[in-house]
Amino acid sequence: MTTHGMTIIDVPCDDISVGERHRRDLGDLDVLAASIAADGLLQPIGITEDNFLVFGERRLRAFQDVLRRHTIPARVVQVRSITAGEYAENELRKDFTPSERVAIGAALEAEVGSRQGERTDLELRENFPEVPPGSRTAEIAAHMAGFGNRKTYEQAKRVVERAVDEVIAQMDSEELSVNAAALIADQPPERQREIARLPEPERQEAVRKLRRKDLPTPAEAHEKAKQTGKAFLDRNLQWQTPMPMEERRPLIERNLAVMAVIDAMRELATCPLTAADVASGIGEFDTPDMDFAGKCRAAAAFLQHITQELDSHAIK
């Protein structure tokens, strides 16, 4: 039996059935054709055993319509073998890019979907496994196509359907995670290209900002927290918890106070005063009528005052 994903054969372009595709805009095929002419076809297209196109429509169009070549290198993607459980999803991860696995997943959805509702007391056609009761086709296809879960599969599909070529290429080369690429894919095409062209640190920062916008508002996050009993991060990068604000505020105050002390101590890392002198100064604020947060903030202010005094004397 042919090993799925490994066999590469030359197939007549006219023999390949394209069918209905997700992507309508195929981009600049002349540029792709020029690259193929110069460097060769780096990644073959994928077809089923019946010559139906699984992935690589742009490559096929560049070969057929621009370069006027009659055959194209193709991998035989044995969809029936995958649905029969004869090919492990980790092998799909290794052999195919995320965008190619999206296309394989679509083919699997069509194949697996045809198994739903069939009787278990009859021999299944082609020995396909029956779809487990209650399972959704997309979830099964996501697993079989090598995605960890349906959410990642749906995100990758969104990238393939909406993203510009540069973003898809960065996802496929693992410069962008599937999640990050999906966030970028929701932006207008020109903005997508701008982000894709940024140096990596700036691109990561742009993705962080997009991810922040994708978070719920404080009110939405608090409502989710009340419903689930879990903490949710809001778009202000603050955690919303199930407890009411009057109960949360002391915890927030203490957290901010401790952070203030940490910042002040960092400034005092080179302070020439002895620990006893610093402790004596802090002790002046340790009065019974001050709560924990107040003491911490007062201590932090005192420590910062010391650094300012030291700096002013050093300048003189």
| pLDDT tens-place string over residues 155-211 | 999 999 899 989 999 999 899 999 999 999 999 999 999 999 999 989 998 998 888
Helices 178-185 and 189-197 pack at an angle, to 10 degrees, of 140
Amino acid in position 92: L
Domains of the chain: which residue ranges? 8-213, 218-315
**Lowest-confidence range among 24-33, 106-115, 202-211, 276-285?**
276-285
Closest C-alpha to 53, from 82, 17, 22, 81: 17
Asked whether the beta carbons of 78 and 87 are under 8 A apart, the reply is: yes
Closest C-alpha to 216, from 186, 238, 247: 238
Q: Report the distance separating Cα 177 and Cα 156, nearest Å.
A: 10
Element (H, E) at 12: strand 8-12
Asked whether the beta carbons of 56 and 46 are under 8 A apart, the reply is: yes
Of the pLDDT bands very low, low, confident and very high (cuts 50, 70, 90), residue 291 is: low
Q: Positive or negative, the Cα torsion across 9, 12, 16, 22?
A: positive
SS3 for 46? strand
User: Taking the C-alpha atoms of 223, 229, 235 and 238 in order, what is their torsion angle to the nearest 10 degrees?
Assistant: 120
Of the pLDDT bands very low, low, confident and very high (cuts 50, 70, 90), residue 145 is: confident
- Whether the pLDDT of residue 11 is over 90: the answer is yes
Tell me the CA distances in angstroms from 142 to 106, 115, 146, 203, 275, one per residue in order. 9, 16, 7, 28, 60
Q: Report the distance separating Cα 275 and Cα 282, nearest Å.
A: 11
| pLDDT tens-place string over residues 228-284 | 888 787 877 677 888 776 666 666 666 666 677 777 666 666 666 666 666 666 555
- From the CB of residue 314, how many other CB atoms can be counted at a distance below 10 Å? 8
Q: What is the pLDDT of residue 236?
A: 75
| pLDDT tens-place string over residues 35-89 | 898 888 888 888 888 888 888 888 999 999 999 999 999 988 887 777 666 666 6
